[in-house]
């Protein structure tokens, strides 16, 4: 096959794929699918699930397999050629997706299939059709032709503008650096971070230390730098990414944000919703705008007194009024003084490879699966690895790529994405494969990367998502794994998994001092556990601030008199935050979750799902965290069902009752009485 992107017979051929393969592959595939769909509709006078839905599912699965390496490589390689190829193909994919979603003949055919399934006991079939019919409506299939075209145009503009937003953030980060030649300014920073900064300087033939704006560099300076001016310098750079203050007007996302909000609102209005927030909730668990805002405000009210106490204690400990660039540093000092624990001391016990092995051992204990690294799978970078997952019968049931170290050009943050979705149709099976991406401290010259405990929690979080993708038993791609799951429940498996990173039995298997081989000492873990809720109230308010800002921004948007983004941020901070932020803070300009990712009017999902996760984990605490029956029930009722079942019904089947917020409050050390 000439174009390796079109070879879907195996894993992506990363050694062969080039940017110039992208546009021809996408054009050819879209043309082929248009022809297949026309034939399907013209020759299918009495459509059934097998004759209509299965072929459509197969086409969508094939398109996903071709597109997944493209979107992935432009995120992790920092290549202008890959970005350009992605930007050329994105409008074609967007147009094609909207074209299918607005196809009235296809919608009518699905409706006919839905009626024929009324008495069918196949829950997956009904769910796939119901999801499709909902999505037809949300894409404007019922609209007059002029409005359909406008909706299509909006989707094109949105896709391009959101991509521009993300690229501006990345470019601003890649361009920024700070060179320091006076070692005295670096007091307090751990040796591993200093070594990396010195190596980065040498790579550019410079003396001293060179600091970039990736998250490990930002985090280590905010936690450990004694020099307050250095902390503020890094804070300022971080909070002005993608803004008019970042050093290059071409990277300013101000206009992008205004355009994105306007386009989303117009699209929502076109299909009959008052706001984009209302539109967003059509695919989520929460019932209404008032439900979401009420939930966020109740949680804020329950958390406020704890946060106020924390801030008072911290400022008393520091002996001064604290600014935002002081909080992380002084919490680290506070934990050392009160609990005799520090991130750097903990880091010495968490080599990345040991953590991964311990995490895999946990998955084996809970779910009876085995994860094995395969050395003969093509990858896109020397840091990337591939792991296969086997079940109790020693059958391979899927796999995933892991790319966990920070590097220049790689998108910031941590995420998982689908490479291949599970499929079992017409006698042909595709096993689920995913990408797991993080930005941890890269290995030193000895190949050693030491993780903070926060990094360990992040890795557990993303692996929870990956298990959701890999352990699905649903054969229809549109509702297998994470697909079809309400967005405010997608975080349930990931946040649930975080809890195991606070278990000594688990961390003992995830730790080994690189010099002695000794696991994390029990005494040190006890100090860590005691410090778990230090700052939990302030952290809770911070997440609620982000969730409320996102949701109000979309719920209250008025095209005639739009509230400036920064004014909305200040309004939310006046209501929720206890900290005074500097006037230059431009947090929204790099808030990719909502302006470039899938969390628009949905960032509240982290807290919504955290309630589910804490309540679910309390079942494990009651039965024993490795209790095989509880783990079997969680796997069967939550991880395996994908979008085939109403998520609240699935949760109640696991837990025996609906969730309550009490477990989350207790987990954060906040009184529930």
- pLDDT tens digit string along 196-222? 999 999 999 999 999 999 999 999 999
Span 130-156, average pLDDT? 97
Neighbour order of strands in the sheet with 396-405: 370-373, 385-390, 396-405, 433-440, 415-420
Question: pLDDT class for 121, splitting at 50, 70, 90?
Answer: low
Written as six digits, the tokens of 112 are 């006919």
Query: What pLDDT does 398 receive?
Result: 98
Average pLDDT over residues 217-244: 97
Residue 596: predicted pLDDT: 97
* In 225-370, alpha helices (H): 228-239, 254-270, 276-281, 289-318, 324-339, 343-347, 352-367
pLDDT of amino acid 118: 73
pLDDT at 78 over 90: no
Inside any domain, residue 9: yes
**At 371, which helix (H) or strand (E)?**
strand 370-373
- Token couple for 82: 């890959």
Residue 571 pLDDT class (50, 70, 90 cuts): very high
Does residue 291 fall inside a structural domain?
yes
Decide if pLDDT at 570 tops 90: yes
pLDDT at residue 122, rounded to an integer: 85
Q: How confident is the model at residue 661 (pLDDT cuts 50, 70, 90)?
A: confident
Confidence of residue 235 (pLDDT cuts 50, 70, 90): very high
185 and 270 part of one domain:
no
Both 496 and 563 in one domain: the answer is no
Domain boundary among 240, 265, 294: 240
Give the residue-averaged pLDDT of 63-86.
96
Rounded mean pLDDT, 92-114: 96
- Structure confidence at residue 126 as a pLDDT band (50, 70, 90): very high
Q: What is the pLDDT of residues 572-618, one digit of tens each?
A: 999 999 999 999 999 999 999 999 999 999 999 999 999 999 999 99
- As a whole number, mean pLDDT of residues 501-525 equals 97
In the structure, what pLDDT confidence band is assigned to residue 119 with cuts at 50, 70 and 90? low
- The reply to whether 127 falls in a domain is yes
> Both 508 and 625 in a single domain?
yes
Per-residue pLDDT for 39 more than 90?
A: yes
Do residues 505 and 553 both lie within one domain?
no
Which whole number is the average pLDDT over 533-539?
A: 93
Question: Do 620 and 553 belong to one domain?
Answer: no
Q: Is the confidence at residue 1, as pLDDT, over 60?
A: no
Q: Does 161 map to a domain?
A: no
- Among 556, 571, 603, the domain boundary falls at 603
3 state DSSP class of 418? strand
d(CA 61, CA 478): 8
In a domain, 191, yes or no: yes
pLDDT in tens, 416-468: 999 999 999 998 999 999 999 999 999 998 999 999 999 999 999 999 999 99
Which string of DSSP letters, residue by residue, matches 52-115?
IIHHHHHHHHHHHHHHHHHHHHHHHS--HHHHHHHHHHHHHHHHHHHHHHT-HHHHHHHHHHHH
How far lies 235's CA from each of 223, 415, 438, in Å?
Answer: 11, 23, 21
Taking each continuous run of H as one helix and of E as one strand, the counts in the chain are: 26, 9
CATH number (domain holding residue 436): 1.10.1370.40
**Residue 316 is assigned to a structural domain of this protein:** yes
CATH number at residue 282: 1.10.1370.10
Residues 296 and 213 in one domain: no
Is the pLDDT at 562 greater than 70? The verdict is yes
DSSP 254-270: HHHHHHHHHHHHHHHHH
646 CB-contact burial (10 Å; exposed 0-12 / middle 13-18 / buried 19+): middle
Do 546 and 444 share a structural domain? no
pLDDT above 90 for 527: yes
Among candidate residues 548, 573, 489, 529, the one with its CA nearest the CA of residue 669? 529
Q: What is the pLDDT of residue 666?
A: 86
Whether 638 and 492 have beta carbons less than 8 Å apart is answered as yes
What pLDDT does residue 334 have?
Answer: 96
pLDDT for residue 673: 55
Same domain, yes or no, for 403 and 301? no
Q: In the predicted model, what is the mean pLDDT of residues 323-341? A: 96
Q: Check residue 447 and give its pLDDT.
A: 92
* CATH number (domain holding residue 92): 1.20.1050.40
- The per-residue pLDDT for 180 is 97
Average the pLDDT over 107-112 and give the result. 96
CB 633 within 8 A of CB 472: no
Is the pLDDT at 178 greater than 80? The verdict is: yes
Total number of domains in the chain: 4
Residue 626 has pLDDT above 60, yes or no: yes
Q: Collapsing DSSP states into helix, strand and coil, what is residue 494?
A: helix
For residue 120, is pLDDT > 80?
no
Using an 8 Å Cβ cutoff, are 152 and 224 in contact? no
* pTM given for the model: 0.95
Q: Is position 84 annotated as part of the catalytic site?
A: no
Assess if residue 347 is contained within a domain: no
Average pLDDT over residues 494-508: 98
Number of Cβ atoms within 10 Å of the Cβ of 302 = 19
Q: Are residues 610 and 590 in the same domain?
A: no
CA dist 124 and 130 (Å) reads 10
* % of the chain surpassing 70 pLDDT: 99
Closest CA to 262 of 139, 153, 148: 153
For residues 386-407, average pLDDT: 97
In this structure, is residue 159 part of a structural domain? no
108 touches 45 (CB < 8 A): no
> What's the pLDDT band for 670 if we cut at 50, 70, 90?
confident
Angle at which helices 22-43 and 80-101 pack, to 10 degrees?
10
Is-contact 528 509, C-beta < 8 A?
Answer: no
Catalytic residue among 418, 462, 545, 637: 462
**Same domain membership, residue 620 and residue 518:** yes
Q: Are residues 476 and 615 in the same domain?
A: yes
Instruction: Give the integer Cα–Cα distance in Å for 176 and 246.
Output: 9
Residues 45-64 have pLDDT tens digits of 889 999 999 999 999 999 99
Domain extent at residue 501: 352-530+606-667
Up-side HSE of residue 316: CA atoms within 13 Å toward CB?
A: 6
Q: Does residue 672 have a pLDDT over 80?
A: no
* Together in a domain, 517 and 384: yes
Q: Using a pLDDT cut of 90, give the percent of the chain over it.
A: 94
Q: Which domain-ending residue is among 555, 578, 603?
A: 603
């Amino acid at each position: 096959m000439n174009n390796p992107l079109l070879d879907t017979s195996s894993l992506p051929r990363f050694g062969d794929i080039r940017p110039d393969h992208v546009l021809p592959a996408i054009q050819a595939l879209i043309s082929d699918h248009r022809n297949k769909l026309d034939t399907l509709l013209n020759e299918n006078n009495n459509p059934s699930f097998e004759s209509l839905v299965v072929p459509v599912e197969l086409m969508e699965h094939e398109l996903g397999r071709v597109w997944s390496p493209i979107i992935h490589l432009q995120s992790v390689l920092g290549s202008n050629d890959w970005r350009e190829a992605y930007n050329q193909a994105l409008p074609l994919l967007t147009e094609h997706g909207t074209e299918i979603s607005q196809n009235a003949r296809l919608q009518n055919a699905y409706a006919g299939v839905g009626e024929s399934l009324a008495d069918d006991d196949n829950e997956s079939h009904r769910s796939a059709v119901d999801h499709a019919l909902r999505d037809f409506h949300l894409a404007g299939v019922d609209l007059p032709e002029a409005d359909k075209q406008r909706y299509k145009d909006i989707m094109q503009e949105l896709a391009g503008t959101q991509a521009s937003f993300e690229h501006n953030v990345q470019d601003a980060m890649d361009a920024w650096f700070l060179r320091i030649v006076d070692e005295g300014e670096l007091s307090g920073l751990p040796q591993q971070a200093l070594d990396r900064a010195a190596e980065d300087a040498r790579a550019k033939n410079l003396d001293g230390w060179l600091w970039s704006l990736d998250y490990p560099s930002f985090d280590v300076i905010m936690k450990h730098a004694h020099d307050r001016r250095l902390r503020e310098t890094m804070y300022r750079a971080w909070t002005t990414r993608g803004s008019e203050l970042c050093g290059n007007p071409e990277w300013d996302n101000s206009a992008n944000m205004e355009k994105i909000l306007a386009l989303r609102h117009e699209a929502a209005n076109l299909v009959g919703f008052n706001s984009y927030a209302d539109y967003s909730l059509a695919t989520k668990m929460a019932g209404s705008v008032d439900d979401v805002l009420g939930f966020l405000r109740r949680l804020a009210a329950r958390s406020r007194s704890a946060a106020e106490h924390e801030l008072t204690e911290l400022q008393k400990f520091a002996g001064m009024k604290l600014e935002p660039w002081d909080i992380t540093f002084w919490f680290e000092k506070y934990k050392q003084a009160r609990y005799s624990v520090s991130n750097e001391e903990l880091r010495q016990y968490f080599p990345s490879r040991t953590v991964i092995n311990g995490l895999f051992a946990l998955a084996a204990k809970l779910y009876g699966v085995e994860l094995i690294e395969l050395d003969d799978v093509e990858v896109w970078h020397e840091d990337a690895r591939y792991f296969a997952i086997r079940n109790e019968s020693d059958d391979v049931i899927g796999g995933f790529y892991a790319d966990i170290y920070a590097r220049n050009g790689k998108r910031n943050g941590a995420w998982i994405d689908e490479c291949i979705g599970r499929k079992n149709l017409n006698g042909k099976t595709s096993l689920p494969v995913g990408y797991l991406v993080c930005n941890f401290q890269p290995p030193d010259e000895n190949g050693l990367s030491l993780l903070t405990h926060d990094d360990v929690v992040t890795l557990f979080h993303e692996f929870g998502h990956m298990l959701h993708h890999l352990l699905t038993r649903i054969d229809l791609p549109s509702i297998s794994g994470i697909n079809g799951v309400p967005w405010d429940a997608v975080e349930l498996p990931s946040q649930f998994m975080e809890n195991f990173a606070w278990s000594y039995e688990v961390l003992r298997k995830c730790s080994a001092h690189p010099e002695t081989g000794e696991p994390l000492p029990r005494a040190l873990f006890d100090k860590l556990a005691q410090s778990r809720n230090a700052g939990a109230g302030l952290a809770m308010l911070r997440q609620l601030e982000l969730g409320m800002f996102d949701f109000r921004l979309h719920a209250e948007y008025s095209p005639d008199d739009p509230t400036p983004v920064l004014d909305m941020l200040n309004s939310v901070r006046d209501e929720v935050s206890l900290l005074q932020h500097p006037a230059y803070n431009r947090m929204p300009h790099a808030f990719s979750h909502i302006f470039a990712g899938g969390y628009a009017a949905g960032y509240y999902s982290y807290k919504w799902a955290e309630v589910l996760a804490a309540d679910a984990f309390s079942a494990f605490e009651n039965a024993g965290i490795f209790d095989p029956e509880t783990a079997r029930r969680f796997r069967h009722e939550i991880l395996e069902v994908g979008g085939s079942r109403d998520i609240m019904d699935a949760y109640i089947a696991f837990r025996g009752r609906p969730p309550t917020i009490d477990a989350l409050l207790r987990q954060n050390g906040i009184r529930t009485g």
